[in-house]
Structure 1
Amino acid sequence: MVVRGVRTVRRRVVEQRYQAVLQVLSGASLTEVARRFGVSRQAAHRWSSRSRRSRPGSPLGTCGN
């Protein structure tokens, strides 16, 4: 049995959000991105909104909040 640490899980979540936001920024619809990542459309929208409010160069901004 492999036990993953909190940091490993957190890193995977951040990476998932990063990839989702990049896809939205590349022109994919929120609905399609949400379907691909197995999250609600609202979650994908929230991630995308945070990226717009973030500092330049950071597509996620405050993704953990």
Structure 2
Amino acid sequence: MRQVIMYPGEDGYYVVECPSLPGCISQGKTKEEALKNIKEAIQAYTEALNDQGLAIPEEKFDALIVAV
């Protein structure tokens, strides 16, 4: 299970990032498509780490919202 952050991109697509996996970013035309795509990106990212014999970063579920 991984925490993701979703936000609207400048091009009208939804951008999704997985903070615990640096550089693991995807997008989609809809929220549903963006979530599907980030799931695939997370799977590919962790498989690549496994293939290279590298450790998979642990997930941290610390999330805060700051109102300014």
Query: How would you bin the TM-score normalised by the shorter chain?
Result: 0.3 to 0.5
Structure showing greater radius of gyration is 2
Q: Which has the higher contact order (CA 8 A, sep 6+)?
A: 1
- Structure with the higher helix share, 1 or 2: 1
Q: TM-score, normalised by structure 1?
A: 0.41
- Structure with the higher strand share, 1 or 2: 2
